[in-house]
Structure 1
Amino acid sequence: MLIYIARQPIFNKAKDVVAYELLYRDPKTQTASIKNPDAATNSVLMGSTLIASFERLLDGKRAFINFTTNLIKDGTPLIFSSNYMIIEILEDVVPDIFLMQRLHELKNKGYTLALDDFTLHYPHTEIIDLVDIIKVDFTLTTPDDQKMIIKKFKRPGLKFLAEKVETFEDFNHAKSLGYDYFQGYFFSKPAVFSYKDINSIDTTHVEILKGLNSETPNYTYLASLFEKDISLTYKLFRYANSPVYGSIEQVSTIRKALVRLGFSNIRNWMYLLILRCMSIGQSDESICVSLRRAKMLELMAPDCGLAQRAPELFLVGLFSMLDVLVDKSLDKVLEELPLKEETKEAIIYKENTLGLPLKLILAYEKGDWDEVEKLCIQLKLKPMNISPAYIESIKWTSEVVKYSL
């Protein structure tokens, strides 16, 4: 059975990811329509625990999961650890004595309760008094209501989450009103095209890339370049000896570390370091999204008939959020990078051979399943191959961020 699960990040005021909401996608139609809410939540739980596992899909964060009245009453949440799960009570749940007993039981056992799609005129005060988090959809409420909700219901221990926050203006507005958490894709869009200067790219990094891109790359020459940079050498040993490469034996020389990685991985890693250098001060989630896209494109390359071009697809994904990371338009920032014209056009327009797979991933991230299906047909890609690549890219990104930056 196929399980389609989408995750959406939830941020705190510092723009750090603190949790993800897991969303159900119908395994047959790949749409967001939910005919049976109980089955929908069960599919999310089955997929996230038995197939993907919380640890891999959530990267150590907590999961917001919708629960219907029936699932709460039959004790389904108690099967899972309160350390990983936040129980999201749907707005149409009508409380009765048995439901309230269950909610109190969950609360006493350490579970966090959230109330979804809250409005100013939500009628069930007994649930309001019990929950830990109130979620307010900013597309379904007015600015006055968004402000009044906090003023009317604020109490010690109660947190407010602004949902459907799509721009940095929305984020700053919600933050100014006193909201604690923020859910949406505001982080994936540039705050403003301020055309700030890009942080200087280290000359050693450039020299290494030139050596890697030469017709005959040479480990000895590359080792000599690393020897000139103590910080870079430290990062190299940390990365080469990390679980990313699954080796028990520790490498002890620069050349051996380079050989373990191989020219292709060294090249990708150097581009990653350059990306990190250019994006100082930006959200770590933006870096993680860039890495996930890069790895996902690399993994999907063979299924798209582009196995030989996997390294190029990796770069397309890696630099797909440069405008966000440096607050500068893509065409301007890409002018300053040593990339092929085809790669630059793929990142900007997403229409050529390298751009269409990126377009597919962007549609998948947003849950635009009609577009995903259309692009799968165009790329001759089986939809069932996308989710495994997505989950594997999450795991890989977590390890790379931990050991390589």
Structure 2
Amino acid sequence: MTRQTIDTDKTTDIQQLYAAQPIFDRKQKRYAIALLNRSGAGVSTLLLSDAGLCDAQLQQLCADISAQSAVYKAPLFVALAADFVLSGRALPLAPDTVVLEPVIPPQPDATYIGALKTLKKQGFRLALHDIALTEAAAQQLLPLADIVRLNVLNSNLADTERYKAQFGRPGLLWLAEPVETDEQFAIFKALGCDLFQGYFLTKSLLVAGKKMEPSALKVAEIISCLFAAEPDIAQLSALLKNEPNIVMGLLKIANSPLYRRTRAVSSVKETVTRLGLELTRKWLLMCAVLSGTSPAAAITVLTRAYTAQHIAQQWQLSAVQCQQYFLAALISGTDLLFDIPSELFLRHVNLHKDIKAAIKGNRGRMAGALAIVRSIERGYALKLAASDAELPYIALYNQQLSDVQQRLLTLE
């Protein structure tokens, strides 16, 4: 087994243990990642506690955190229990790869404040929760904070505005969460919040009459060709003639150790022959989606699509129906991928009536599968416990998320 294989296996194991939720800035660019624990019931905040955590376990956990930071190319938010802060244990982490979120005790004493100051001296950034900052504690804690979380569910706008006016200072960033709607995003942005975490990214921020961008049109054309009753490989090659990034990504996959045989392939036709139509569909759509959107959006929508496809398989539907579930879920995410409504995208593809009914009319069993996956997404984003309807599919979603993240690593 090669070192590369070992590293790949380790990354997959890590992704199966943890979930990641992006934190965005005012321009909806990824600022950081909140690292969460996975379990059969959903996700929860990753919390480092001194209780029962030996040095070897701490080393391994921090190695996992560092690996995730490298995967996402962004700092990770990691929560510290009060006992860990007071333990004085050294964190084997590079300060620029994490933002620490210490749990504040009801009455933080001088010892606790001193421990936070030590972390600051070591170069770590601290994020504090507004709910833990009483007026008395705020005077001691806020000078140490780099970021303050504003819990949208537990405060009204007037309180938030007054809180920012009272405790704000230059350089202090304010993070609003959970931001679930476009309206919340707009309101808290107007209030001066700098960072946002929550479900709003999967909602469309659309302008009436918006036209299809070339990248979205290209994906629509590729879908129409790939999922035709008898795909025309010559037509597909022509579609990709002026898309070098997509073609290079596809050739990289076909020539990778996963599929390489005796000689390298150098054309779309050879790639389809080597991979077969099903694998070509999978990898080509991933390359096409990545060429026109952000990795965070691609991960969300591709995970949605593959989960819907596997739900159809669990329901013992036909291979054709499984493909339809995949496409419906993929197209339902065009608002996230291309900032356009799925109804507009549907006008440019010739697809089965059941797909259109699921997306446009929210009708049929396919729409039910999409609702399940969206509910799981929302639970991840808002850190909610899984509902009875979601529980049978949580493990399936976790596996598809891990698989999609691993495929993205393959394309880097």
Q: Is the 8 A contact 1:322 1:330 kept in 2?
A: yes
Tell me the alpha carbon deviations over residues 38-92 of structure 1, each in whole angstroms, 9 at most, x when there is no partner: 49997x9899768898428962322212222112122457144434321112354
Deviates more, 1:346-355 or 1:361-370: 346-355
- SS of 1:94's partner is coil
Cα distance, 1:113 vs. partner? 0.7
Q: Equivalent pairs: percent with the same residue? A: 23
The residue that corresponds to 2:183 in the other structure is: 169
The residue that corresponds to 2:306 in the other structure is: 295
Question: C-alpha distance in 2, partners of 1:144/1:274?
Answer: 45
Q: Is the 8 A contact 2:254 2:275 kept in 1?
A: no
The residue that corresponds to 1:239 in the other structure is: 250
Match of 1:194 among 208, 222, 235: 208
Which structure carries more relative contact order (alpha carbon 8 Å, separation 6+)?
2
The residue that corresponds to 2:402 in the other structure is: 391
Any unmatched runs of 5+ in structure 1?
none
The residue that corresponds to 1:143 in the other structure is: 157
Question: C-alpha distance in 2, partners of 1:331/1:211?
Answer: 19
Q: Is the 8 A contact 2:85 2:112 kept in 1?
A: yes
Match of 2:143 among 129, 140, 147: 129
Alignment of 1:2-401 (within 5 A): 5-24=18-37, 27=39, 30=42, 38=49, 54-55=67-68, 59-75=72-88, 78-118=91-131, 121-124=134-137, 125-192=139-206, 194-199=208-213, 212-217=226-231, 219=233, 221-222=234-235, 226-227=237-238, 230-242=241-253, 245-246=256-257, 250-268=264-282, 285-298=296-309, 302-306=313-317, 308=319, 309-324=321-336, 330-331=342-343, 333-348=345-360, 352-367=364-379, 368-371=384-387, 373-377=388-392, 383-397=394-408, 399=410
Q: TM-score, normalised on structure 1? A: 0.76
- Shift of the 352–236 alpha-carbon distance from structure 1 to 2, 3 Å rule, reads same
Q: What is the letter of the counterpart of residue 249 of structure 2?
A: R
Cα distance, 1:196 vs. partner? 2.3
- Shift of the 48–317 alpha-carbon distance from structure 1 to 2, 3 Å rule, reads farther
Q: What is the letter of the counterpart of residue 122 of structure 2?
A: K
Q: What is the letter of the counterpart of residue 100 of structure 2?
A: I
- Shift of the 194–384 alpha-carbon distance from structure 1 to 2, 3 Å rule, reads same
- Shift of the 205–355 alpha-carbon distance from structure 1 to 2, 3 Å rule, reads closer
Question: C-alpha distance in 2, partners of 1:213/1:97?
Answer: 65
Q: What is the letter of the counterpart of residue 65 of structure 1?
A: V
Q: Is the 8 A contact 1:291 1:318 kept in 2?
A: yes
Question: C-alpha distance in 2, partners of 1:206/1:37?
Answer: 45
Tell me the alpha carbon deviations over residues 311-352 of structure 1, each in whole angstroms, 9 at most, x when there is no partner: 333323211223455666544543442221222333456664
Question: C-alpha distance in 2, partners of 1:397/1:118?
Answer: 37
Q: TM-score, normalised on structure 2? A: 0.75
Q: Is the 8 A contact 2:224 2:350 kept in 1?
A: no
Cα distance, 1:272 vs. partner? 5.8
- SS of 2:389's partner is helix
Q: Is the 8 A contact 2:41 2:386 kept in 1?
A: no
Question: C-alpha distance in 2, partners of 1:392/1:210?
Answer: 25
Question: C-alpha distance in 2, partners of 1:189/1:325?
Answer: 10
Cα distance, 1:117 vs. partner? 3.0
Q: What is the letter of the counterpart of residue 316 of structure 1?
A: A
Question: C-alpha distance in 2, partners of 1:240/1:76?
Answer: 48
Q: Is the 8 A contact 1:227 1:233 kept in 2?
A: no
